[in-house]
Structure 1
């Protein structure tokens, strides 16, 4: 079935908007967070691994982690973030390139952080695509030997239906078109893509790091939300509402959700208690 330019555009724009690309582009000029990317930071004995934060599709480090980065720094961590996978929308809109390439960027950044801090390993915390890219890095690019804890929230390892849009795009063979508008990672998120098939084959997790996956039942971007969980001996899956019943966050709101931050801190350091509080975010 042919899909002409106008009808294709009608499919692509909501698809990109649904994964946050257009929203990210509109707010991508966020200023760097104070206390982050301090390459003179010396990890403490209590928190010996620096934390590398990995943003979601269409975002950047400062934008995605304006809340979580200072929270982690305030708890005594050396905190770093990058903006990876930039393309036709400029240097502050990331996550657009093929996720294999972004994983290589992440690997180079991890090595830079390790060299600067003297740490043998880092912890990685990622949101949305910031879970998928590190998972690839850990499994295929040697990252498992360099990471102690990996935490993904709004996680996605199996693609998303985007309420049927991705399924429709698959039926109409729109994967190449998605890559053609400058978002190769969008095509890779289509269910059954070659990228996801390779990532999921034999299981996402590899021995070594601990994996913590945090998801929300109210996520309308990663659908079903169970795309962000998997079973492995070294994996813990957390559905927010199973623990914090008054948490009504969707996908984007997880970046500022205090309950997500509490679970992240606990995953990095089990002595940090999980505290729930009511949270409502009207976004996706």
Structure 2
């Protein structure tokens, strides 16, 4: 494992600029598994309907939507369901690959502040191409937390209307106690910070109590002028406890999937394909046409 870790770390380190590469759109997918299988041979595929830089926003949907994927995922396998839905709704949709090797299958593994800076550059590119004044952001896991760094530290607050997080790692994770267990072992802290931190800096930065998260959440979870929506699931096995996804503040709306369908068993990695989560995203982006989802619709 150490040798593999060092090789992977070398691949990441030698990529001085995180990838924003995207190619032709792939097909819509029903779940993260089928999307990941397609992404194996098409790692830079755009999600359906995304990354058309000739798209011009309409009066009904004046803000383009930028999708931000989770740790180790890429734009296609996280968003091959939601992206096409938003495109059909009339949005201009964009989904970059950032924080990983250029053209690589695994993205969003690099240093979060660095990736957040590149995310901000991508937002500027979208604004310039579309002529819009602001974007809305929908992010999964790290992709729901990382834009908060952009908002707080990198001038993003004036460029974003709404941030929607699907199972975001806003207050970190202990991976059901695994993080504490590893760090309690002899040499466990060195392993986590050295080996894991070299391969995936973002993984260590998302641990509960990390320096990055302590700074990000210091002084409050939100910044003025931005609306926040969080969608969490009680069965989240990655962001634990699942309530660590929630934000607090006057412009925050927190949702739990099981409050709309008690038997919904959707876990962390497939939440971007859950029909309730998708509708809650649509509601957050277009509150005037919101409706309440349930187990069937």
Q: TM-score, normalised by structure 1?
A: 0.85
Higher alpha-carbon deviation: 229-238 or 109-118: 229-238
Q: What do residues 228-265 of structure 1 show as CA deviations (whole Å, max 9, x unaligned)?
A: 00210111111111233232211111111111010000
Instruction: Please name the residue that 1:113 is paired with.
Output: 126
Instruction: Please name the residue that 2:195 is paired with.
Output: 177
Q: Which runs of 5 or more residues in structure 2 are unaligned?
A: 7-31
CA apart distance, 1:139: 0.9
Indicate conservation of the 8 Å contact 1:175/1:190, yes or no.
Answer: no
Check if 1:79 corresponds to 2:79: no
SS in 1 for 2:163: strand
Instruction: Please name the residue that 2:63 is paired with.
Output: 49
Indicate conservation of the 8 Å contact 2:260/2:295, yes or no.
Answer: no
CA apart distance, 1:202: 1.0
Q: What do residues 178-227 of structure 1 show as CA deviations (whole Å, max 9, x unaligned)?
A: 112x1000111122111111111112211111010110001111110011
Q: What do residues 69-92 of structure 1 show as CA deviations (whole Å, max 9, x unaligned)?
A: 0000010000001011004x9623
* Aligned equivalents of 1:185, 1:90: Cα separation in 2: 19
Report 1:57-72 matches (<5 A). 57-72=71-86
Q: Which runs of 5 or more residues in structure 1 are unaligned?
A: 10-19, 280-284
SS in 2 for 1:233: coil
CA apart distance, 1:35: 2.3
Instruction: Please name the residue that 1:248 is paired with.
Output: 265
* Aligned equivalents of 1:77, 1:156: Cα separation in 2: 26
CA apart distance, 1:169: 3.2
CA apart distance, 1:25: 9.6
Higher alpha-carbon deviation: 267-276 or 150-159: 267-276
* Aligned equivalents of 2:180, 2:156: Cα separation in 1: 32
Higher alpha-carbon deviation: 235-244 or 98-107: 235-244
Instruction: Please name the residue that 1:263 is paired with.
Output: 280
96, 110, 115: which one aligns with 1:102: 115
244, 249, 255: which one aligns with 1:232: 249
CA apart distance, 1:62: 1.3
Cα distance change, pair 79–26 in 1 and its aligned pair in 2 (3 A): closer
SS in 1 for 2:204: helix
104, 124, 140: which one aligns with 1:91: 104
* Aligned equivalents of 2:141, 2:204: Cα separation in 1: 15
CA apart distance, 1:166: 1.2
Instruction: Please name the residue that 1:12 is paired with.
Output: none
* Aligned equivalents of 1:169, 1:133: Cα separation in 2: 25
Instruction: Please name the residue that 1:159 is paired with.
Output: 172
Higher alpha-carbon deviation: 250-259 or 235-244: 235-244
CA apart distance, 1:26: 9.4
Instruction: Please name the residue that 2:11 is paired with.
Output: none
| Cα root mean square deviation, aligned | 2.4
* Aligned equivalents of 1:235, 1:106: Cα separation in 2: 22
Instruction: Please name the residue that 1:272 is paired with.
Output: 289
199, 203, 206: which one aligns with 2:223: 206
107, 110, 125: which one aligns with 2:138: 125
SS in 2 for 1:126: strand
Indicate conservation of the 8 Å contact 1:25/1:93, yes or no.
Answer: no
Indicate conservation of the 8 Å contact 1:159/1:190, yes or no.
Answer: yes
